[in-house]
Chain A
Amino acid sequence: MSETSQQNAVVQVDHVSMVFNIANEKVQSLKEYFIKIARRELMFKEFTAVDDASFTVNRGDVFGLVGTNGSGKSTMLKIIAGVLEPSKGTCTVNGTISPLIELGAGFDPELTARENIYLNGALLGHSKKFLDEHIKDIIDFAELHDFMEMPLKNYSSGMVARIAFAIATVTEPDLLIVDEVLSVGDFLFQQKCENRINDMIERGTTVLIVSHDTSQIERLCNRALWIEKSKLKMLGDAKEVCAAYREYER
């Protein structure tokens, strides 16, 4: 690979495979474990979630991931987000990541929205100073001024999603990972989210989107990858990939 393309790559996935061991029976007690070891019965069935995937996401790309359920999209995203470590191969990310994988993972239902913003912000690696400076932006974007001191358990799922999206996009990361989150909230908010993502794209943020909604991928992305049954099936222009995927679905 040439020097320039190396520098342009935000995500470089190099022969990544992810193999899970599914124990034939889930062994979760010590006694069972030792009995099985003694009997040499500890057999693992292997399940390959991602099989030898290689691709590059360049700076400024809006990259879509499509594929039927259980074909390894989310596993791929988790590897890129650094949550999972691949069994084989390497995945290199140059720059900061803002993951929008299942919004509000770190939220505590008992805390108020404001408290959750600080907690979640800290989890995403922000400092107190940064959060103090941006709390107003976050609240403004979520449009939930009147509900800031209310425990999150009393929020509707749409309201939670608003806050989560607002926190996750408060920075301008080098890479934004979006996993099926745009399907929450009312249509106005969905539009607002798309606008914000578009703004970020214009300013050079690289975006990785997973969605079942191929029209959304077509609308937002320039490149796309189709993963089917753990294998890369097609990589290329978003419209072409989506067209082929729709063919397949039928």
Chain B
Amino acid sequence: MSHSANLRKNNSGKQNHNSLYLLFNLVSKDFKLRYRRSILGVVWSMLNPLLMMIVMTLIFTNIFRFQFDMYPFAVYLILGQTLFAVFQDGATGAMSSIIEAAPLIKKVHVQKIIFPTEKVVFAVVNFCFSLIAVGAVLAFFGMAPSWKALFIPFLVILLIIFTLGVGYLVAALSVFFRDVMHLWGVLTTVWFYFTPIFWPYDALASNGLDWVYLLVQFNPMYHFVSCFRQMVTGIPLPSDLGVVTEFGLCALFAVVTFGVGLFVFKKLEKKFILYV
């Protein structure tokens, strides 16, 4: 409609530039609020995955006695965990972002897509800090990252695109049906268990559960996590498609999901204000 078409024509270049600045401001706000009044502050971004890793390593090596002898189980665990956290935190934050920004959306003309995007960027910033924890764990076990680790930024970009896609989708849907928010908690838990984060890959193969194996292949996070582990350690995994194939699959999932998410979001965003 001709409304803000005029507005955007006037300062479209400036607008884009300032959207970035707004994004930066929103991320820094989230960051400040998360660590305000905590003594350790940003250190928690590193400490959290580390503590989780220690707890889970203790449980799975001592109580469940998982057999994993390619490299330390702790390394295996923290790699899966930190990468999955980007997706989980990003998409979960994005989901409620529109509803949280309701007072704003009702009063100021802003690009609504900036809110879910910001949550995903925030999750990635946290991931960057948790990479320090990953580095510490690698060093502790005397492992060096392989040269393939140079490609991690590309994988993370794909993961951002994928998470944005899912985030846009759930953000838009949760505006109309708050059920999505309740369902999402269950869904991410299922998703977590369906991703090889704490269970080793041969758990799939040795049980002869072919249909599970097939099903898992359709889980984008399976490929992201596998790809990430191989890029960091350089050690191929048992049920391995090859790191290049995995990367290609990640790209495919990312682009398709992003397309669907963006399409749905753009289609519905005009009605947000009536429902938030």
Contact = CB atoms under 8 A, between A and B. Distances in A.
Interface string A116-130: 001100111111100
B177 A30 contact: yes
Contacts of A33: 177
A101 interface: yes
Contact of A99 (B108, B177, B273): B108
Contact of A92 (B6, B17, B33, B273): B6
B104 interface: yes
Contacts of B1: 85-86, 90
Interface stretch (B21-29, B134-142, B159-167): B21-29
A83 B107 contact: yes
A29 B107 contact: no
B107 A99 contact: yes
Interface in A103-144: 105-106, 108, 110-111, 115, 118-119, 122-128
A30 B174 CA distance: 10
A182 interface: no
A119 B29 contact: yes
A235 interface: no
Interface string A1-37: 0000000000000000000110000001111010000
A81 B177 CA distance: 27
A84 B21 CA distance: 24
B106 interface: yes
A119 B30 CA distance: 11
A96 interface: yes
B33 A20 contact: no
A119 B26 contact: yes
Nearest to B5: A92
Given A82-B3, A83-B107, A127-B17, A96 B29 contact: no
Contacts of B62: none
Most chain B CB neighbours (cut-off 10 Å) among A31, A33, A83, A110: A83
Interface string A25-61: 0001111010000000000000000000000000000
Given A83-B273, A106-B108, A111 B2 contact: no
Nearest to B23: A122
B179 A81 contact: no
B110 interface: yes
A85 B109 contact: no
A193 interface: no
A94 interface: yes
Given A110-B36, A111-B32, A85 B177 contact: no
A91 interface: yes
Interface in B162-180: 177-180
A28 B177 CA distance: 5
A101 B106 CA distance: 10
B274 interface: yes
B270 interface: yes
B7 interface: yes
B179 A84 contact: no
Contacts of A184: none
5 contacts: A33-B177, A91-B3, A95-B10, A118-B25, A124-B108
Interface of B: 1-4, 6-7, 10-11, 14-15, 17-18, 21-22, 24-26, 29, 32-33, 36, 103-110, 177-180, 270, 273-274
Interface of A: 20-21, 28-31, 33, 78-79, 81-86, 90-97, 99, 101-102, 105-106, 108, 110-111, 115, 118-119, 122-128
